[in-house]
Amino acid sequence: MAAQVQQEAALGSVDTSAHDSVREREIGVEQEHLDRVYRRLEEKIHEAEFLMNDAAKRGQVGTPGALAERDAQVFRAGIHLNRLNNEFEDFLFGRIDLLAGKDGKKGPDGAYTAVEPAEGAIRSDNTADIAETLHIGRIGVLDADYSPLVIDWRAPAAAPFYRSTPVDPGRVVRRRVIRSKGRRVLGVEDDLMRPELAAFLDGRELPVVGDGALMAALGQARSHTMRDIVASIQAEQDQVIRAPAASVTYVEGGPGTGKTAVALHRAAYLLYQDRRRYAGGILIVSPTPLLVAYTEGVLPSLGEEGQVAIRAVGSLVDGAEATLYDSPAVARAKGSYRMLKVLRKAARGALETAGEAGPAAESGGLGDASSRSVRNGNGEASRARGQGRAEQRAPGRGGAPGRSRNADAEQLAFGDDFGDGGFGDGGFGDGGFGDDEAQAPALSATRLRVVAFGRRLELEADELDRVRRTALSGTAPVNLLRPRARKLLLDALWEQSGAGSRHSDPELAAELRSSFDEDISSEDSFIAFLDAWWPELTPRAVLAAMADEKRLGRWARRILNPGEVRRVARSLGRDGLSVHDVAMLDELQAILGTPARPRKKREADPLDQLTGLEELMPVREESQRERAERLAQERTEYAHVIVDEAQDLTPMQWRMIGRRGRHATWTVVGDPAQSSWSDPDEAAEARDEALGTRPRRRFTLTVNYRNPAEIAELAARVLALALPGSTSPSAVRSTGVEPRFVTTNNGRGTVVRDGLARTVREEAARLLDRVDGTVGVVVAMNRRAEAARWLAGLGDRVVALGSLEAKGLEYDATVVVSPAEIADESPAGLRVLYVALTRATQQLTVVSQDRDEPDANGVPDLLRD
Ligand SMILES: Nc1ncnc2c1ncn2[C@@H]1O[C@H](COP(=O)(O)OP(=O)(O)OP(=O)(O)O)[C@@H](O)[C@H]1O
């Protein structure tokens, strides 16, 4: 802001027409430079194509050496072509004009490395000459003589473009943001870092144009996808983006301070810094599929794709995809540390009930497509990621139990099981698992009968229980204890046979024992018994077993109260998974373990020997994107983990994410004031456990770039209730448009109408007329389905969202429906309301009902000063 004011002062003497002609001339100057850049890019594309063709010819020679050389060449050329062919909307976006530096050293990108000006750079009469001009863009381009035509935005030489301020300008005199589309320069906006200086470039005074690139960017209409902020990253954000990768980078900041934007730009920066190190992949964990869809275009726009996986917290387990929400009470039980204890008991307990009509001995692991609830499995999960936001936004529906699979599969939306009222009673009964996927074992496992030495040996239930308990003593994963259990069974049978005591010669006894074991182990009845009595358990089978209230009651005794047991069991009987179920599946996978299996031989792929493959051009049938997706799917551990909206993670989710970053460095961004989790202290403990003892580097972002001051002020009232004493970020701009208050009661409000549906629809339509971009209507979670119906026919620009779905998103305008309803939804309701109120970039309407207790102006009780 300061720079803007100073700049306007500097322009004070320029009349408008002169100003316009300076602008035109400066656009022309930048156009000339962009033309040069594109000519150079074309040369580079020809070079890369030549290399690709040459490499293909070498491949025809067919010797292993020639093939390896070809692959390396294809790889390098592919990287070039891929980058250069990209139609960047604004390939070139910045320029800095710099004073001479303290020393004359140049870096690898051809730019001088000095940060501070040389002593004589500013003359005593406050004049100076521009010694260096750098253009900043999405990738670096060197001219044929190795002089820098464009500096990559992540290079050290580009840092002053973001860091320099009038208070601490370094060498920068003028910073220019260039707006271009394809090959055409559309505009330039300048900030003066040293407004007191008369600086000369090639003998002419440095011209200054425009009034603030940041404000122009913030004022633009929003669409359903996020834009990168590469042209206008602010100094405090740049500190985070370029922070060294070591250990944990921990970032806090209020709504709209750019946490998500910074996290995404940081991923691109880290890859640029050390591509080899991050060949192990960067994982970005997002709270919802909506936020994934909203943000996933940013990295490609920065020229980065393959090595970064953006995944919703409910999609971290392959083959499982969360499609349902849990009620707050159920979420609270499933997400807390208490659930860990329950799962450990359930894993062992599921084995004990294996002989009853009960959990299945399913083959395969988490990703087993035949197991229950794999409704939105791999295929659909990846479709969801690739889909446009509008499709994902399909409204939820009521009546969750008993829905048809196909209907669910088509509608990739969250079900409407929020609130206990949403749960039906059908689908599970005593001892049953409510569906056909939980297969019963082949035979009863309550008695083992075999024949040895011509006599029948039998182990009864009591003895079998004893053997099982012995086998289960200790902490090893249940599935890995099967060989031990088998051995203990054979011991018990051997003992019963009495054969051991009949032979005093130890060698003979050992031989006899060995053939005894071999005979019994190969007996069909023994094998069938073992399969039924100690099946290989899958996480899904255990989860299915937990849907039985009686069993769950046993396993959760003194951990969950009876009400929680009932609700959790019911929720697990639904057809589908919630985000909390996914974390439970992942935990169960760790508790159960996966027995070693002979590895499937994978076709040798010479390209796997190279790193950074994801950037390759589609040189074979599998496209770059498909390959990247496949590699991401296969990956379970990452080199760097970025957690967005970290304040919402439950202890169980922290454990799940922690397992993916055991050896990683981390970036954690969040805002405690926006947490929808009811027990922040417990979550902090889990976070600390996941991050271990790694040292932390803390940053705070303080400026709200999203909300105008008028909206931010209103939201701050709720923040004061939700977290007394905390400070809101300061809004960077003001629009002069105050939030509007509308009531549906029939007495006092400023605007009085009947019927929530009609009011909300009218307000949404009104806002659609007033903004160019999107309108979000935020309602309590259990109103999502009806809210979608209220808005039917209003078009693509308007969306209905449940309060929890609004997380991280933004709209030109929002309608927040019944603050009291949102605040009363859960123990964290006030913080959720704070999130809802901070989604608009331009206009906000609050619709109140009687329960909101609006005053004469329609302002609901919760939002009054
Ligand atoms: N330096 C910047 N230049 C231009 N736009 C910016 C800048 N920083 C942030 N923004 C914009 O501000 C908005 C908010 O950013 P972002 O969503 O990253 O904030 P956030 O801190 O994650 O918010 P929340 O906590 O509410 O999810 C986005 O539209 C983003 O593009």
Structure tokens at 55: 């490499």
Kindly list the strands in the beta sheet with 204-205, ordered across the sheet, starting from the edge strand earlier in the chain.
127-129, 198-201, 204-205
Known binding residue 254? Answer is yes
Q: What is the pLDDT of residues 320-375, one digit of tens each?
A: 999 999 999 999 999 999 999 999 999 988 887 765 544 443 333 343 333 333 23
Known binding residue 692? Answer is no
**Is residue 731 within 6 Å of ligand 1 at its C-beta?**
no
Point out the least confidently predicted range of 87-101, 169-183, 201-215, 696-710.
Answer: 201-215
Q: What's the chain's Rg over C-alpha atoms? A: 32
Strand pairing category for 127-129 and 198-201: parallel
State the DSSP code for 206. Answer: P
Give how far Cα 630 sits from Cα of 283, 318, 385, 623, Å: 14, 11, 13, 10
**Is residue 212 within 6 Å of ligand 1 at its C-beta?**
no
What is the best residue among 4, 153, 177, 257 to mutate for testing ligand 1's pocket, by most ligand atoms within 8 Å of CB?
A: 257
Known binding residue 260? Answer is yes
Q: What is the pLDDT of residues 631-640, one digit of tens each?
A: 555 567 899 9
Atom of ligand 1 nearest to the CA of 234: 1
The pTM of this model reads: 0.76
**Is residue 670 within 6 Å of ligand 1 at its C-beta?**
no
Nearest CA owner, ligand 1 atom 25: 255
C-alpha to C-alpha distance for 800 and 792, rounded to whole angstroms: 10
C-alpha to C-alpha distance for 479 and 610, rounded to whole angstroms: 36
Nearest CA owner, ligand 1 atom 30: 258
Nearest CA owner, ligand 1 atom 8: 258
> Which range has the top average pLDDT, 2-16, 518-532, 537-551?
537-551
Question: What DSSP string runs through 144-166?
Answer: TTS-EEEEETTSGGGHHHHH--S
Could you tell me if 671 and 255 are in contact, meaning their C-beta atoms sit under 8 angstroms apart?
A: yes
Known binding residue 253? Answer is yes
Residues 757-768: what's their mean pLDDT?
95
Distance from the CA of 582 to the center of ligand 1, in angstroms? 29
Cα–chain-centroid distance for residue 848? Answer: 33
C-alpha to C-alpha distance for 849 and 858, rounded to whole angstroms: 9
Q: What is the pLDDT of residues 681-721, one digit of tens each?
A: 898 999 999 998 888 999 999 999 999 999 999 999 999 99
Known binding residue 44? Answer is no
Strand pairing category for 198-201 and 148-152: unpaired
Distance from the CA of 226 to the center of ligand 1, in angstroms? 9
DSSP-derived 3-state class of residue 719: helix
C-alpha to C-alpha distance for 743 and 663, rounded to whole angstroms: 54
Of all helices (H) and strands (E), which one includes residue 457?
Answer: strand 455-459
C-alpha to C-alpha distance for 416 and 776, rounded to whole angstroms: 19
**Is residue 809 within 6 Å of ligand 1 at its C-beta?**
no
Task: Look up the ipTM and state it.
Answer: 0.99
How many degrees, rounded to 5, is the angle at CA 253 between CA 247 and CA 256?
130
C-alpha to C-alpha distance for 331 and 521, rounded to whole angstroms: 45
At residue 848, does pLDDT exceed 60? yes
Known binding residue 256? Answer is yes
Q: Residue 712: how many CB atoms within 10 A of its CB? A: 24
Determine phi and psi for 435, rounding to 5 degrees: -155, 175
Structure tokens at 469: 């308990």
Residues 784-807: what's their mean pLDDT?
94
* Secondary structure of 483-512 in HEC code, one letter for each residue: HHHHHHHHHHHHHHHCHHHHCCCHHHHHHH
Atom of ligand 1 nearest to the CA of 839: 26
Atom of ligand 1 nearest to the CA of 257: 21
C-alpha to C-alpha distance for 139 and 434, rounded to whole angstroms: 56
**Is residue 290 within 6 Å of ligand 1 at its C-beta?**
no
**Is residue 831 within 6 Å of ligand 1 at its C-beta?**
no
**Is residue 810 within 6 Å of ligand 1 at its C-beta?**
yes
Percent of the chain past pLDDT 70, that is, above it, reads 76
State the DSSP code for 480. Answer: G
**Is residue 839 within 6 Å of ligand 1 at its C-beta?**
no
**Is residue 228 within 6 Å of ligand 1 at its C-beta?**
no
Distance from the CA of 664 to the center of ligand 1, in angstroms? 26
What is the best residue among 706, 730, 805 to mutate for testing ligand 1's pocket, by most ligand atoms within 8 Å of CB?
A: 706
Could you tell me if 514 and 438 are in contact, meaning their C-beta atoms sit under 8 angstroms apart?
A: no
Cα–chain-centroid distance for residue 264? Answer: 10
Could you tell me if 830 and 838 are in contact, meaning their C-beta atoms sit under 8 angstroms apart?
A: no
